[in-house]
Amino acid sequence: MKIASIALRNIFRNKWRSFLSLSAIALVTFTIVFLFAIMEGMKLDQRTTMAKFATGDARIRNAGFEKYQFIAPEEFMIPDYDKAIAALRADPAVETAVGRFQFPAQVAVKWEVIFGMNWPGETNSTLATGLDFSDEKSFFSLASYLVPGGRLPGQGEILVSGGFAKKFNLKPGDSLILYSGGTWGQQDAVLKISGIVALPLAQLNVNSIYMALSAAQNLLLRQGQAEEILIRFKPGVAVGDAVAAVRTALARNGFKDLDVKPWNEIGNAGTFIDLASKIYYFMAFFFFILGTTVIINTTMMVIYERMREIGTLRAMGMTGPEMIRLFFMEAFFIGAAAAFVGVILGSALILPLSVSGVDFGKLIDLGKTNLDISDVIYPQLNLVSTLFVFFYSTAVSSLISFIPTRRAAKIEPVEALRSI
């Protein structure tokens, strides 16, 4: 008679109690599987978002830009960016390469006319981006975010992000005055709003404005220059290899001091997700502690109930470690079954959600937080992390039973036998 099968039968002695323990652990496992799936979803979201809106699959900037962007960004542009783009597009791995110009700007949305001049009361900070609308169509297709009634801007025109438009009650046809500041040189223009873009990324939607790349170049008197070039690789291309190829291609074409970075090495892309995963791991651990108190409690009750049985088994010659194994197995079976149930239920919930998405924008105002995540997250079921949760869940809930069982092993057989 194996200890394991005794343990298994013991589980069914008090079905409701075992069910309760199982439910607690299953619920915890379920929650964690769900949390991890959301986290995976956020990672995926960030990857697509970064690639789509901010970095492309890889981004090229002047090597000094990163370091000096707050002191003298204008000194670290990509000159001859047209030539660079032509060279990049010749690379078979590159689907498209586009130039961009990004600069902070103050924007006045209303003003009075006094003495024949425009007098804005106040200005608001925005992030202005000059980009090539037709070239970016294949990834950052701003046209697809246009609110009906708007169109892409021409010279002297501008697109305003939804959040900004809503805040200041702007609509297509309205005008605004833009002032570039700082070291970019003090430039200004009255621009007409050609359309509103409702961007899925809360942070961008708050205060972004978009204009044609040439309009930005003209405004800042920087014709022929771009701040960055974004590259989109063809599907199936390994980004790491392609980036290396791009570096050599640029060097061969005489471009020096250009820095090519794959999307995942850019900026602080990882930091938020890293922090979130740490918080999630901590939450997971905390949930488990809660869930496992049920296991501890059950095991303790079981030990007191079966005291005379423990005495009998000890009298028959079962040693302390064997005793521990018996109770451990019970917890292990419950834990494993619960983890299995939790993982199955979690996956069953996530699979449809990974298609339909979860709209967090409705739940919290992400615009006010500083997170680079979309409103709608598509939770992702990751085999490795799900397996991890299964094993973790099983391990924690069974290992925790050591706390009460170690005490059971120390009970004197005579004492155990004397109990009723």
Should residue 69 be labelled a site residue for other proteins when binding is judged by CB under 8 A? no
User: What tokens does 343 get?
Assistant: 């993982």
Please give the Cα distance from 232 to 56 (Å, whole number).
Answer: 6
Should residue 182 be labelled a site residue for other proteins when binding is judged by CB under 8 A? yes
Should residue 14 be labelled a site residue for other proteins when binding is judged by CB under 8 A? no
Q: How far is the CB of 273 from other proteins (least distance, A)?
A: 35
Work out which of 69, 264, 297, 312 binds other proteins, going by CB under 8 A: 312
User: What tokens does 3 get?
Assistant: 């200890």
Neighbours of 79 (CB within 10 A): 13
Of residues 200 and 413, the one with the C-beta less far from other proteins: 413
- Residues that bind other proteins (rule: CB under 8 A) add up to a total of 50
Work out which of 125, 138, 271, 319 binds other proteins, going by CB under 8 A: 319
Please give the Cα distance from 99 to 406 (Å, whole number).
Answer: 67
Q: How far is the CB of 80 from other proteins (least distance, A)?
A: 19
User: What tokens does 114 get?
Assistant: 């006094």
Please give the Cα distance from 163 to 154 (Å, whole number).
Answer: 22
Residue 153: partners with Cβ closer than 8 Å, 6 or more residues away: 133, 159, 194, 195, 210, 211, 212, 215
Q: Is residue 272 a contact partner of residue 285, using CB atoms and an 8 Å limit? A: no
- DSSP state, residue 136: G
Which amino acid would we find at residue 3? I
Should residue 1 be labelled a site residue for other proteins when binding is judged by CB under 8 A? yes
Work out which of 173, 251, 414, 419 binds other proteins, going by CB under 8 A: 414
Should residue 315 be labelled a site residue for other proteins when binding is judged by CB under 8 A? yes
Which amino acid would we find at residue 51? A
Please give the Cα distance from 27 to 345 (Å, whole number).
Answer: 9
Should residue 181 be labelled a site residue for other proteins when binding is judged by CB under 8 A? yes
Q: Is residue 53 a contact partner of residue 276, using CB atoms and an 8 Å limit? A: no
Binding mask 269-298 for other proteins (x = CB under 8 A): ------------------------------
Work out which of 104, 120, 224, 357 binds other proteins, going by CB under 8 A: 120
Work out which of 39, 258, 269, 313 binds other proteins, going by CB under 8 A: 313
- DSSP state, residue 1: -
Should residue 15 be labelled a site residue for other proteins when binding is judged by CB under 8 A? no
Neighbours of 320 (CB within 10 A): 14
Q: How far is the CB of 299 from other proteins (least distance, A)?
A: 16
State which of positions 122-161 bind other proteins (CB under 8 A). 123
Q: How far is the CB of 411 from other proteins (least distance, A)?
A: 11
User: What tokens does 67 get?
Assistant: 């370091």
Residues at the interface with other proteins (CB under 8 A) = 1-2, 6, 9-10, 13, 68, 71-72, 75, 108, 111, 114-120, 123, 177-179, 181-183, 185-190, 221, 308-309, 311-321, 412-414, 417
